[in-house]
A and B are shown apart, each in its own frame.
Chain A
Amino acid sequence: MSLGKLAERLLHLVPVLLGVSVIVFLMMALTPGDPVDIMIGDQNVTPEQEQAMREDLGLDLPVHRQFFVFLGNAVQGDFGTSFYHRRPVLDVIVERLPATIELSLVALIIALVTAIPLGVLAAIRRNSILDKMATVGSLLGVSLPGFWFGILLLMLFAVHLQLLPVSGRIGFSSEIEPITHFLLIDTLLRGRPDAFWDALKHILLPAITLGLPMTAILMRVTRTSMLEVMRQDYIVFAEAKGLKRGRILFRHALKNALIPTVSVAAIETGSLLGGNMIVETVFGWPGLGRLVVESVFLRNYPLVQAAVLFYAVTYVLLNFIADILYTTLNPRVKL
């Protein structure tokens, strides 16, 4: 893809992102209940102080002006103050972000390393028991409610077998001074294999729960595209040439079959973000998803607003990356 095309596609994102911020702004602007009242709580404030707070937050402006103030601030990373934490919203979010990113990445890795081999196996052993089990498995994978699956895993592995911890990111005794804030990396950088093992044990169940629907979808995509590729002339030709089956599968077929898998994986990474709210709540994972859910109950609206915007922007960017990946990997597609 040429640089011009890339710039053009990027430009297309502008109206979408603008629309997203309008919706997020409206979502909160139309929320019943006055933010100033919530901030004041049960403190004693004079009407003058209240008015000053209102002006400070720009709430005395007409709605369209309020939107531009919101947008201007948002672009500069200013999302206001978290009522609950009494700190800038952005700080609170940034603090929680590494836990969520780490969990999503591990879920993504689990999904990729299980879905691709299973999908390939199901395709080359079409209609075998394994293929049928994979089909049933993927159907189950998309039908299982994540919160329930997580609880079942907890009951089995944490309560019954007592192999894995019930909640949190790491045990007390394994806590370390953060470097990157990704615990699986930091524990290794600090030379603490025991702590690494502990962090791994903590992340395993939430990551499996989060990754399950994605595994199901990717397995299906891989299977279908592998079957498609195996029908192509060049594979038949390679077989006719007498090439070894393994070589045909991995050198010729898989390379092409993975194109849809990779782009679907990029799109589905966006869906992982949506699943975070559930999984982090079930496993007491101290990430952004849980923060959002807590903030809804605390009526901590600026934080909810910023988080919704953050999720949407990330989602748009991931879809953009998925598009780019698809075009770059597959030269036949010209967008």
Chain B
Amino acid sequence: MTSAAIHSPPVAKASGAGQTIFQRNLRQFAANRLAMASVGVVLLFVLLAIFAPFIAPHDPNETDLFRRLQPPAWQAGGEWAYLLGCDALGRDILSRIIYGSRISIFIGAAVIFVATTVGIAAGLAAGYFRGWVDVAISRLVDILLSFPYLIFAIGLMAMMGPGLVNIILALAYKEWVIPCRVVRGETLATRELEYVEAARALGASSAHIMVKEILPNILSPVIVVSTIRIAHVIILEASLSFLGLGVQPPTASWGSMVADGRAFILGAWWVSTFPGLAILLLVLAINVASQGLRDAFDPRFQE
């Protein structure tokens, strides 16, 4: 972002002494305690995912029919070694939730990474070259936006079959449209600014102008949108897994764990409740954190 401060006087004007706009925004974000707490929760989940084998008290796929539907520790019949109880195959729910965080976070991050990369490339090309490139990309965006997200993903999963890579692809096929629209709009506005014109006059190539001049200056809104979208993608993945179209058993994923518990809502409330609570916590934390990011980094939300 330092290059942003050098290159674009209209956007990145230092406000305080020796502070770039980025530093000021970052400080504003850090002052938002609720947002920082949410970042903490998200980080906690990321750590859980990375160190799952060391943190999880049990093997997530180890079945024990003697512990079938064993209630959580604080209920009669529960054990502290199996804090959140066990599912219908006697697997430890806490361990499965910890391992399940890997799926949610990995798929969420992978989809957003792929989608943002493709979206930035397509959006830059559409906004910079305009003309038929813009028409072609924008039409494709319009068409993809015409599909409700879940049905589109379901259709693709039906076609490609289940599997980790296929889920990422099925979601990314539509997700890139969102960063693309943001980047296109910002590029259209930025390409007319003086410093871009100056670079062009100096003989810089289109690729150089797009990547080195325009991109750094439009990155903030893209990052803000992408963090908000991670929460959506996590819910979509969980929804696909819930429907049985996502990650296949026995791999623990939060959506399929909630689905497993559906058959036992009469007696074993914990089987569905805890994995769902994990989804809610993570998604809520991402939503609050990204709202804080937006308030701090998006000039449109600044008073």
B283 partner, pick from A143, A270, A293, A316, beta carbons under 8 A? A143
| Whole-angstrom distance between the Cβ of B288 and the nearest chain A Cβ | 7
Let me know if A71 is at the binding interface, CB within 8 A: no
Closest CB in chain B relative to A271 CB, distance in Å: 7
User: Is B6 located at the chain interface by the 8 A CB criterion?
Assistant: no
A281 cross-chain contacts in B, Cβ below 8 A: 242-243
Write the nearest CB–CB distance from A291 to chain B, whole angstroms. 12
CA–CA, A142 to B279, complex, Å?
12
Query: Distance (Å) between the CB of B208 and the closest chain A CB?
Result: 33
Query: For the complex, what is the distance from the CA of A230 to the CA of B293, rounded to whole Å?
Result: 28
CB proximity of B101 to chain A, nearest CB, Å: 15
A154 touches B143 (CB 8 A): no
Question: Number of contact residues on B: which range applies?
Answer: 35 or more
Say yes or no: is A67 at the interface (Cβ < 8 Å to chain B).
no
Tell me which residues across on chain A come within 8 A of B13, comparing CB atoms.
none
Total A-B Cβ pairs within 8 A: 132
Given A19-B140, A19-B143, check contact A159 B266 (CB 8 Å).
yes
A299 to B162, CA, bound (A): 13
Please tell me if B53 contacts chain A, counting CB pairs below 8 Å.
no
* Chain A nearest CB, measured from B283 CB (Å): 4
Quick one: CB contact mask for B254-292 with A, threshold 8 Å, 1 for yes?
010011011001100100110110011001100110000
Docked complex Cα distance between A144 and B142 (Å): 28
Whether the Cβ atoms of A152 and B147 lie closer than 8 Å is no
Residue B299 lies at the interface, judged by CB distance under 8 Å to chain A: no
Residues of A within 8 A of B276 (CB): 145, 147-148, 151-152
Q: Does B150 contact A (CB under 8 A)?
A: yes
> What does the 1/0 interface line of B147-161 toward A look like (CB < 8 Å)?
111111011111101
Q: Is the CB of B265 within 8 A of A16?
A: no
Given contacts A151-B265, A159-B265, is CB(A277)–CB(B258) below 8 Å? Answer: no
Which of A15, A30, A154, A312 makes the CB contact (< 8 A) with B147? A312
**Counting CB contacts under 8 A, is B146 at the interface?**
yes
Known contacts A145-B238, A274-B148, A304-B155; 4 further A-B pairs (Cβ under 8 A)? A145-B255, A145-B279, A277-B151, A312-B148
Q: List the 3 shortest-distance A-B pairs measured between CB atoms, nearest first.
A: A148-B276, A274-B148, A19-B143
A-B contact pairs, 19 of them (CB 8 A): A16-B139, A19-B146, A24-B155, A27-B159, A31-B158, A140-B284, A145-B235, A147-B255, A147-B258, A148-B280, A152-B273, A155-B269, A159-B266, A274-B149, A278-B150, A278-B242, A301-B158, A311-B148, A312-B147
